Structures are given as structure tokens and as C-alpha cells.
């Protein structure tokens, strides 16, 4: 019998790492659907209906935020504490901050840098969504959808 010592086995990720990876994937899936809604509404309002850019970006973000709550609550963070008034208030409070952050970044690119064409406005919108989403991920997992101590 020979033993092959040259092959290394890659150990499976530890359970906490695996849980974090699954959480990030679920966050991306739910968030991705929200991003699709955000872009669709944004482009219809700005380029289709010729509404003001800031009106289009804020309304698009708010509409996406409503749908995202359900996805995060029942998909991404379904293993966390059950729905409470506090959780809902925190979600919409932090989401409001995320919308303000996203809108401020959009304003800086669209008006400040003059990136107002159809392609450029979507690039600025995408960058603002990515940066605001990093903020949202951290606050949702830390404060909004906390682990229930009784379940741990």
C-alpha cells in the first residue's frame, strides 16, 4: 500500500464561515432583485417619463426598499429573531439612511461630475447602489436582523 503525501485536502469551511458565505449570497440575491427594481423604476422615470434625476433616484430606491424588507426578513435573515416593531423601525430607519447615502452619491456624480447621459447616469446609479449596499449589509446583520438569544 502506498500513501500519496503530495495531495493536500482542502478542509470545508468552518460552520461560521459557511453561514457568513450563505448570508452574503442570500443578501446578494435579495438585494439583486431590489437593484433590478431600482434600475427599472429609475430608468422609466428619468429616461422614459423625463422626471427630475433626484426624484427618479429617490423614488426608485424607496420602491426597491419596500420589496427588499420582505426578502431580507423571509429569505436572508429567516433564522434571526422574529418580526417586531423595533426590527421594522430599524430596517426602515437604516434603509432611509441608505437611500440618503445612495442619493447623495448619485447627486455628486450626476450633478457634481456632470455624468448625466443615459449610460453615465446608470454607471453613477450603480456605483451609488454598491456603496450604499455595503452600509446596509453591515447594519442589517448587526442591528436589524439580530440573532435571537433564545435560539442560539
Quote the Cα angle for 31-33-38, to 5°.
90
* Average pLDDT of the chain to the nearest whole number: 86
Among residues 76, 84, 85, the alpha carbon closest in space to that of 140 is found at 76
Question: Cα separation of 56 and 101, whole Å?
Answer: 15
pLDDT tens digits, 106-142 = 999 999 999 999 999 999 999 999 999 899 889 988 8
pLDDT recorded at residue 85: 86
**Of 13-22, 52-61, 66-75, which range is least confident?**
13-22
pLDDT tens digits, 57-84 = 999 999 999 888 888 888 888 777 667 7
For the range 77-83, what are the long-range contacts, defined as Cβ-Cβ under 8 Å and sequence gap of 24 or more?
Answer: 77/23, 77/140, 77/141, 77/144, 77/145, 79/147, 79/151, 80/145, 80/146, 80/147, 80/148, 81/145, 81/146, 81/147, 81/148, 81/151, 82/148
Percent share of the chain, pLDDT over 70: 86
Residues 21 and 70: beta-carbon distance below 8 Å: no
Q: How confident is the model at residue 88 (pLDDT cuts 50, 70, 90)?
A: confident
Burial bucket for residue 8 (CB in 10 Å: 0-12, 13-18, 19+): exposed
Amino acid at each position: 500500500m502506498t500513501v500519496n503525501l503530495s495531495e493536500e485536502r482542502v478542509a470545508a469551511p468552518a460552520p461560521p464561515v459557511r453561514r457568513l458565505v450563505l448570508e452574503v449570497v442570500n443578501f446578494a440575491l435579495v438585494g439583486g432583485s431590489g437593484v433590478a427594481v431600482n434600475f427599472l423604476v429609475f430608468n422609466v422615470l428619468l429616461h422614459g417619463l423625463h422626471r427630475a434625476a433626484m426624484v427618479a433616484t429617490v423614488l426608485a430606491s424607496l420602491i426597491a426598499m419596500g420589496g427588499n424588507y420582505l426578502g431580507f426578513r423571509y429569505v436572508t435573515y429567516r433564522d434571526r429573531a422574529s418580526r417586531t416593531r423595533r426590527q421594522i423601525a430599524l430596517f426602515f430607519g437604516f434603509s432611509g439612511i441608505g437611500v440618503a447615502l445612495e442619493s447623495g452619491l448619485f447627486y455628486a456624480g450626476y450633478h457634481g461630475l456632470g455624468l448625466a447621459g443615459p449610460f453615465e447616469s446608470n454607471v453613477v446609479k450603480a456605483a451609488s447602489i454598491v456603496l450604499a449596499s455595503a452600509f446596509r449589509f453591515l447594519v442589517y446583520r448587526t442591528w436589524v436582523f439580530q440573532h435571537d438569544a433564545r435560539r442560539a
